Chains A and B, each alone.
Chain A
């Protein structure tokens, strides 16, 4: 197992390298540059700026330079935020996004898995239709509708929480729910489908033939296998939620990673764009690795020896 994890971590390096290379050349291919908006700066200062960021060197040199920095774990200085490094910006904004995402993920998992179990316990009855109806709404109602509606109800009308911002501890609640609702709906559908798949298996019939009680069959025999589809979705879901939803952060005015990313792309802040993409990519591959490890624990047939 340990060997497998080591192998997987080593395997990440070429993946990340491809992503870095792709992004590097793609953003430089695009029209516009980081200093375009500062038209009034005199040419000699511009030259200094370009020298500082190695922008005056040929592209392959810049690329080599960037890779060299990466090898030291340095994402470089930001082009637009003077005197701040990309590392600093990410370390400042990521915790904010991760808090919202973490709470949202917890909410999505608990609500989603419970609703899925509830629905699967009596398929094709009212007990199935009601949670599935809500999950369909959850999937079809975009977060940029849920967010403002929640805001209107709980912040404006009931005044339980503040409208937006990131000052009080309660400020996290509405964004987390907004972010988590769609994922809760997905988890509910995946859990229901997984459980129903297992219930059809021959070994469930065997358990009934042994005289095992209904709820024991549900918990002991179906849950472990039935939860697997939800577990494999957990990887991408966690990566997407923890790195911050652009929409949710925009609506609730939260200083998270997502908003910085959009801003950095608009600003042609090359290093910050690269840093964000790379950071999210790392998170995705790590999450997928964790999911695969969880798989080995849940399904004894999967072995990484």
Chain B
């Protein structure tokens, strides 16, 4: 097994709202291997983004509160760091790319300013000139044509795909160990999606980056990830290697997600969709949160499901017995 770079254990993030306590993330564990990509999959509201933002200290507290868990990175628990220690870590060691490139870049500032500060805020001895050159170089790296001219422009002068490239370039201003990409292609056209994923994949290979890829698109996961974590209503449902999840899914939710991928090979079939809606996170059903929508639900599902270990890397949280291979 490869060396791990990030280990998350029992992470819990709750929101204390007027409507009650919302358990946005309720005990997830995962390990990110060095140089590997972990795909985190789930519907919106399943706590994917919240867990990542908890790790980086990007959530407003209150109403959010991290109620428990550990996040080990380079021998220290990130959850015990103070605000300033976390800040110096963000961007420098762990870079993050967000979903909507239209709103994630500051419309009032030039691209050059936004790129350069990703470097100068961490290394104040850097001269303006070398920061500017670094910025030009990163734009080139992510395949922005004519960077000398583009760097002086404002975000609104870029197309969506180009903006996402700028976002990626921003994480390259430092040399982070981990990049967290939160739905990096969801807001983009299909053709552009492929380009952005290509850039991310190349970077990873070239620099030996580790990556966490958050998405609700299993197709993206299949092409990019080594390991997969499936989440539902703030809890882990199943995790394993890409092969295990795609070819030997155990949890009914994972199977349902896989069946809902449209496929050209099965064009005769009707598109599958999971019945019902995701539960209200403030009022989760007892036991397995997926049970009300599950096709294979049993009476016992109102009790907390056990963690079933299917292999060294494959676990599933479900009452269903493990069928012999």
Asked if A pairs with B, the answer is yes
For residue B100, CB closer than 8 A to chain A, the reply is yes
Shortest Cβ distance from A212 into B: residue: B121
Answer whether A211 and B122 are a contact pair too, CB < 8 Å, given A205-B58, A300-B154, A301-B156: yes
How many whole Å from A207's CB to the nearest CB in chain B?
Answer: 7
Also in contact, A210 and B58, with CB within 8 A (given A202-B104, A205-B98, A216-B121): no
A contact residues around B107 at 8 Å (CB) = 203, 225, 299-301
Question: Which A-chain residue is minimally distant from B167 (CB atoms)?
Answer: A206
Instruction: Let me know if A208 is at the binding interface, CB within 8 A.
Output: yes
Give the distance to chain B from A220, nearest Cβ to Cβ, in Å. Answer: 7
A221 touches B106 (CB 8 A): yes
Q: Which residues of B contact A213 (CB under 8 A)?
A: 87, 121
B105 interface contact, C-beta 8 A: yes
Q: How many residues of A contact B (CB 8 A)?
A: 23
Tell me the smallest distance from the CB of B187 to a CB of chain A, in Å.
Answer: 11
Interface presence of B89 (CB below 8 A): yes
Tell me if A99 is interfacial: C-beta within 8 Å of chain B: no
Contact A206 B108 (CB under 8 A): no
Known pairs A221-B109, A224-B108, A298-B108; A209 contacts B58 (CB<8 A): yes
Nearest CB in chain B: distance from A245 CB, A: 34
Least distance between B7 CB and chain A CB atoms (Å): 21
| Least CB separation from B117: chain A residue | A212
A interface, over-half SS: helix
Per the bound structure, the CA–CA distance linking A298 and B156 in Å amounts to: 14
Q: A205-B104, A298-B108 are in contact. Are A211 and B121 (CB under 8 A)?
A: yes
Q: How far is the CA of A216 from the CA of B167 in the complex (A)?
A: 19
Q: A residues within 8 A CB of B56?
A: 209
Q: Please, which residue of chain A has its CB at the minimum distance from the CB of B57?
A: A208
**Which residues of B are found within 8 Å of A220, using beta-carbon distances?**
109, 113, 117
- State whether the Cβ of A201 lies closer than 8 Å to any Cβ in chain B: yes
B139: Cβ under 8 A from any A Cβ: no
Asked whether B104 lies within 8 Å of A206 as measured between CB atoms, the reply is yes
Known interface pairs A206-B106, A220-B109; 6 further A-B residue pairs with C-beta atoms within 8 A, sorted by A's residue number? A207-B117, A210-B170, A211-B118, A220-B113, A221-B108, A300-B154
B contact residues vs A (CB 8 Å cutoff)? 56, 58, 87-92, 95-96, 98, 100, 103-110, 113, 117-118, 121-122, 154, 156, 167, 170
Using a CB–CB cutoff of 8 Å, the interface residues on chain A facing chain B are 201-214, 216, 220-221, 224-225, 298-301
9 A–B contacts from the bound complex (CB under 8 Å): A202-B100, A203-B104, A208-B58, A211-B88, A211-B92, A211-B118, A212-B87, A300-B107, A300-B156
